[in-house]
Amino acid sequence: MAIQDIYPTALRLLGRPVLVVGGGPVATRRAKGLLDAGARVTVVAPVASAALTELADAGLLTWERRAYVSSDVDGVWFVQTATGTPAVDSQVAADAEAQRVWCVNASDHEASAAWTPAVAVVDDVQIAVNAGGDPRRAMALRDAVATALETGDLPLRRRRKSGASAGSANGSVALVGGGPGDTGLITVRGRRLLGQADVVVADRLGPRGLLNELAPDVRIIEVGKTPGHHPVPQAEINRILVAEALAGNRVVRLKGGDPYVLGRGGEEAEYCRQHGVEVEVVSGVTSAISVPAAAGIPVTHRGLAKGFSVVTGHEELSEVPARPDHTVVLLMGVSQLRQSAAALAGAGLPLGTPVGIVENGYLPNQRVTIGTLGSIADQAEATGVANPAVIVIGDVVRVSPFAPSHFKIADYSTTAPNSPRVPAPNTPVLTP
């Protein structure tokens, strides 16, 4: 039998009698699959596996403890024979053929009237793969397709509403953290939900490249904000999410970073729940940690910093520890960098404390500017630093490969951790 001779279809066996001949591992797997399909399963075998015995003892299937006879195929809709004895399997297949009943013969796939594909289920999608009678090849292909669906590389979006979904007007909302902007840094769950969306409510700083991969009929609603300019107010964003979900759509709110880290995700989730809309929150790779990492700056590092604070740069600076060994991460802080630096200096942070600014983290136009608390505002103005940018203040900046050599006053690796480095002659002293 060649693959071209196969007519792919799916059998609806709910409540219908089927026959499994054999009691070994293959018969056990096939019996379980038939039970999952809702069939009424009868197993004929002198002996059976422990798993089949348990199913029979639980009343989930009928086990006839004897050898096969031709009359066993009478009145059944489907037959699976897997005795491990070719002669018996051939007889079962011949009897089924005479009765015009489809039979899978595990002993001889070429002579089998039907093949059982390798199957996987992702959400309500069932994947079935036939591979020329090669079960391991079929399983490998099945797993690859299932993984692509799980990760969102293949579209899992519903195109036709049926069953329970057709009777319900409500859709759903997913608040998806897209990470710092690189399309490869969204989570698997986030990518999958994006591929299922009917409507995407998009921020300016999310992984914008993924929007180009959406189906043409997916609606994209732009609600992006820039510092000091919010063309779509938060109240209107909340209203859009609920209105689209109540219209029966799967809505993805695609946000940059993490929706619960200075992203107003909590407000949006609460508004959806208040209006009876199902909401899921998918954490993202927050830019507060990931963007510094793009410049080789850890927010904590042994011997340099054991903790960090994340603030917007507009307030709360008086409440964070003003020490070089406590990292301060400023988000949306470019416009008030000079005031922020002055506030930290006024709280006692030394002017020589290293500061790093990472613009457009992980993107092709990423740029890193490194200075000190006393110099960074002038440097930023001179080079035209602009949002989106993350500002890191603290001794951890010394670890960055972009830091000047005179910033590296110790060994920050695990080879000789934090042992003082011997400066080269004429090495400049770290000053504001």
Q: Into how many domains does the chain fold?
A: 3
Q: Is 287's pLDDT higher than 50? A: yes
Residues 6+ apart with CB under 8 A from 69: none
Predicted confidence band at 283 (pLDDT cuts at 50, 70, 90)? very high
Predicted confidence band at 432 (pLDDT cuts at 50, 70, 90)? very low
pLDDT digits (tens, 9 = 90+) for 206-260: 899 999 888 889 999 999 876 666 689 999 999 999 999 999 999 999 999 999 9
Predicted confidence band at 313 (pLDDT cuts at 50, 70, 90)? low
Same domain, residue pair 311 and 264: no
pLDDT digits (tens, 9 = 90+) for 128-176: 888 877 788 888 998 888 888 887 778 777 776 544 444 446 799 999 9
Give the pLDDT confidence score for residue 319 in this predicted structure. 86
Give the pLDDT confidence score for residue 271 in this predicted structure. 96
Asked whether the beta carbons of 393 and 320 are under 8 A apart, the reply is no
Same domain, residue pair 173 and 277: yes
Query: Is residue 403 domain-resident?
Result: yes
Same domain, residue pair 175 and 281: yes
- CATH number, domain with residue 190: 3.40.1010.10
Predicted confidence band at 423 (pLDDT cuts at 50, 70, 90)? low
Give the pLDDT confidence score for residue 121 in this predicted structure. 84
Same domain, residue pair 402 and 296: yes
Same domain, residue pair 253 and 233: yes
Angle (CA) 5 6 12, round 5°: 155
Give the pLDDT confidence score for residue 229 in this predicted structure. 64
Query: Is residue 137 domain-resident?
Result: no
- CATH number, domain with residue 369: 3.30.950.10
| Least confidently predicted of 44-53, 107-116, 181-190 | 107-116
More confident of the two residues 4 and 122: 122
More confident of the two residues 300 and 9: 300
More confident of the two residues 27 and 262: 27
Q: What is the 3-state secondary structure (H, E, C) of the chain?
A: CCHHHCCCCCCCCCCCEEEEECCCHHHHHHHHHHHHCCCEEEEECCCCCHHHHHHHHCCCCEEECCCCCHHHHCCCCEEEECCCCHHHHHHHHHHHHHCCCEEEECCCCCCCCCCCCEEEEECCEEEEECCCCCHHHHHHHHHHHHHHHHHCCCCCCCCCCCHHHHHCCCCEEEEEECECCCHHHCCHHHHHHHHHCCEEEECCCCCHHHHHHCCCCCEEEECCCECCECCCCHHHHHHHHHHHHHCCCEEEEEECECCCCCCCHHHHHHHHHHCCCEEEEECCCCHHHHHHHHCCCCCCECCCECEEEEECCCCCHHHCCCCCCEEEEEECCCCCHHHHHHHHHHCCCCCCCEEEEEECCCCCCCEEEEEECCCHHHHHHHHCCCCCEEEEECHHHHHCCCCCHHHCCECCCCCCCCCECCCCCCCCCCCC
Give the pLDDT confidence score for residue 393 in this predicted structure. 97
Asked whether the beta carbons of 286 and 209 are under 8 A apart, the reply is no
Same domain, residue pair 247 and 195: yes
Among 285, 309, 334, the domain-final residue is 285
Query: Is residue 315 domain-resident?
Result: yes
Same domain, residue pair 105 and 176: no
Asked whether the beta carbons of 194 and 202 are under 8 A apart, the reply is no
Same domain, residue pair 241 and 310: no
- Burial annotation 21-45 (CB, 10 A radius, 16+ → b, else e): bbbbebbbbbbbbbbebebbbbbbb
Q: Is 315's pLDDT higher than 90? A: no
Residue from 304, 407, 311, 400 nearest 357 by CA: 400
Query: Is residue 431 domain-resident?
Result: no
Which residue is it, tokens 């639980």? 58
Give the pLDDT confidence score for residue 412 in this predicted structure. 86
Active site residues: 203, 225
Residue from 203, 277, 206 nearest 244 by CA: 277
Q: Which amino acid is at 79?
A: V
Same domain, residue pair 188 and 276: yes
- The pLDDT of 198-202, averaged and rounded, is 96
Q: Is 36's pLDDT higher than 70? A: yes
- The pLDDT of 22-30, averaged and rounded, is 95
Q: Is 281's pLDDT higher than 90? A: yes
Tally Cβ neighbours within 10 Å of residue 319: 9
Give the pLDDT confidence score for residue 149 in this predicted structure. 83
Query: Is residue 260 domain-resident?
Result: yes
Give the pLDDT confidence score for residue 421 in this predicted structure. 65
Query: Is residue 163 domain-resident?
Result: no
Asked whether the beta carbons of 180 and 291 are under 8 A apart, the reply is yes
Query: Is residue 412 domain-resident?
Result: no
First to last CA, the chain: 80
The pLDDT mean for the chain works out to 89
- The pLDDT of 413-418, averaged and rounded, is 76
Q: Is 293's pLDDT higher than 90? A: yes
Same domain, residue pair 348 and 371: yes
Among 285, 307, 332, the domain-final residue is 285
Ramachandran angles phi, psi of 390, nearest 5° = -120, 130
For the chain, how many residues are written? 432
| Least confidently predicted of 14-23, 26-35, 177-186 | 177-186
Give the pLDDT confidence score for residue 169 in this predicted structure. 60
- The pLDDT of 20-37, averaged and rounded, is 95
pLDDT digits (tens, 9 = 90+) for 339-374: 999 999 999 999 999 999 999 999 899 999 999 999
Predicted confidence band at 12 (pLDDT cuts at 50, 70, 90)? very high
> Tokens for 118?
């390798």
Same domain, residue pair 265 and 304: no
- CATH number, domain with residue 58: 3.40.50.720
Predicted confidence band at 419 (pLDDT cuts at 50, 70, 90)? confident
Same domain, residue pair 325 and 356: yes
- The pLDDT of 391-404, averaged and rounded, is 95
Query: Is residue 105 domain-resident?
Result: yes
pLDDT digits (tens, 9 = 90+) for 181-199: 888 899 999 998 998 899 9
Among 101, 116, 131, the domain-final residue is 116
Task: Give the range of the structural domain holding residue 112, as residue numbers without chain letter.
Answer: 3-116
